[in-house]
Chains A and B, each alone.
Chain A
């Protein structure tokens, strides 16, 4: 099984991602499960850099590099075009970054989720505009340094999962590259559901997070085990399921490994811990309701 999946190689080597790029790992893991009967949409972001410069490309499935704010309606247009031609056995996958999802693409994603068009939307969240050189987005966590928040981000990260849940779309899930099996199970599950599926995929970025290039999977695991990024899924906007019981390590274990948080004082770290604990309680409560 594993070897045949690897043979698919739908994100070929030699692409232009930085060393240790979590985003490229995430795309590769997603594409492995999606398989060759997929049409992908990417938008201006690191996905464009990974795509390569003409005439070379790393993508092994038909891929359309659309405009920034329209990953979702582009994918929906392809899905409906294929459906009209009786080819709805082909899955349409949209990849967008956190800027393309939380910020500029939020409206169009909402429109597609409202219509429940049949696409899988994967938000590759590296928590800032990394492709344009590390500027703050609404996915950037509290106090994180970016080139446009040199004193640290004064605002909290937007809760995109709750926004998606408010659309009552059939399936949304968080995932991260440090738990590849969890991620790939979620993609498999999403493939079996008709309608708008949403994956919030946390992808560490050594360049923007100011981290060594060999610890991206480790950081991804720490994000989950500190509860900064819990693994869960939401079905029909109601049924919450926590997929992994975290070890609840202190947030320092995650924050202090990253240059973007090196300026944090004790009070700021305590605040992050309070926010994380509060969110975890809210999530546990929602999961206890069971739709």
Chain B
């Protein structure tokens, strides 16, 4: 990667360099000379700010939020834009995440687009309302900054917060970087408003939420073209009063849940279609899973979130050394893209799933789900589960290479997860 300081006037002191850097990070990259055309169109920003941009671009008029590290920058940025008039709508500064979600659900039922952002304990506090949002079929969109759950306390990246919510009926995306977080929020509205289910976009603490990267902020007109104004079929209507969320019989409950499941099943197709349309307009697409160098791969690494970026580097290095290694990134977790995984992984010999999460008493959650998806495949691969990056611990290209070598060296299947305990 090119040193961005190139072409800048030489400075004498270290402090000056730091301040130049600060200015650099705060202003548009296009003013910097010597950058490629592609980079020059982008802005430097954190993943959190990328998410805030997406919310404004989607013309979301109602936001309800409560601060929690490391989500706060999203809440602060949107508050700043509300005050300055860039965000046209209402910011509800609720007294808890639970109330934030309650307000989003309620406002969504009046027919407006809604947004909230949270993390970790905040998401756990929302749990009751997450079920409610899905049950009410409200297309609420939320950004969740993946942070470990106490105890002990910590602020670092770990996917257990959102994965613990996997049964709440929310669509879930896991993002690799700030650009994908921005794009996924826009796509999430498009999908959620077609299937009437809420959608969660997850980005990992600090690695994505605070890391500054060049991000292409789309033009408003293009987002408007992709995402039409919201139109929900059921709203509170004083001319035709209805009673929403009555007590129902067992059979009716089952019927409503089955209807929601049918809608959830359709998400994979709807999400793929939305992604294709997105690519046509914006020139970028992600799919619901992504494969890299899979053709002759003997070992396939499976990742979700920011570890994917590192794995891309590791796979490249390994390929240069002559190892036949591929990479599969899971972007959509709910609904779980079982068919896409069966297709991509059928015939492969070994899979190494890297989970930045652990379900105590079971193991890595992406691995559990993947094994379940492949269990009926006639030529199913041997799947190894690696627990790495827990609590925000660093997963370097070297760690990923070690995982690949470990998987290569194993001939017998291993049921138990293998903890990567690199210092």
Contact = CB atoms under 8 A, between A and B. Distances in A.
A57 B245 CA distance: 11
A257 interface: no
A54 B98 contact: no
Contacts of B106: 41, 64, 66, 73-78, 81
Interface residues on A, range: 35 or more
A69 B243 contact: no
Contacts of B244: 62-65
B66 to A, nearest CB: 9
B104 interface: yes
Nearest to A54: B246
Given A77-B106, A115-B93, 15 more contacts: A59-B241, A62-B237, A64-B106, A64-B236, A66-B105, A67-B128, A73-B99, A77-B110, A78-B236, A84-B89, A85-B110, A107-B99, A108-B95, A108-B99, A111-B96
Contacts of B236: 39, 62, 64, 78, 82, 90
Interface stretch (B156-164, B166-174, B247-255, B406-414): B247-255
B241 A107 contact: no
A61 B237 CA distance: 9
Contacts of A76: 92, 103, 106
Contacts of A273: none
Chain B contact residues: helix, strand, loop or mixed? mixed
Contact of B238 (A38, A59, A110): A38
Nearest to B237: A62
Given A78-B107, A81-B62, A63 B99 contact: no
- Chain A CB within 10 A, most for which of B62, B64, B246: B246
A62 B241 contact: yes
Contacts, number: 147
B96 A77 contact: no
B92 A77 contact: yes
Given A74-B103, A107-B96, A81 B243 contact: no
A111 B99 contact: yes
A114 B95 CA distance: 9
Interface stretch (A45-53, A175-183, A203-211): A45-53
A43 to B, nearest CB: 10
19 contacts: A48-B247, A53-B248, A61-B238, A65-B246, A73-B94, A73-B103, A76-B103, A76-B106, A77-B64, A77-B103, A80-B103, A84-B107, A90-B238, A107-B95, A108-B96, A108-B98, A108-B99, A114-B95, A117-B92
7 nearest CB pairs, A to B: A111-B95, A77-B106, A81-B110, A77-B103, A81-B107, A73-B99, A70-B102
Contacts of A73: 64, 92, 94, 99-100, 102-103, 106
A60 interface: yes
A37 interface: yes
Interface in A55-103: 55, 57, 59-67, 69-70, 72-78, 80-85, 90
Contacts of B242: 62-63
B284 to A, nearest CB: 31
B108 A81 contact: yes
A85 to B, nearest CB: 7
A178 to B, nearest CB: 29
Nearest to A16: B247
Nearest to B66: A111
B219 to A, nearest CB: 24
A246 interface: no
B96 A84 contact: no
Contacts of B90: 80, 83-84
Given A62-B237, A62-B238, A67 B246 contact: no
Contacts of A90: 236, 238
B129 interface: yes
Contact of A82 (B110, B128, B241, B247): B110
B109 interface: yes
Contacts of B323: none
B103 A51 contact: no
B129 to A, nearest CB: 7
A20 interface: no
B223 interface: no
A41 B103 CA distance: 12
Contacts of B128: 67
B109 A64 contact: yes
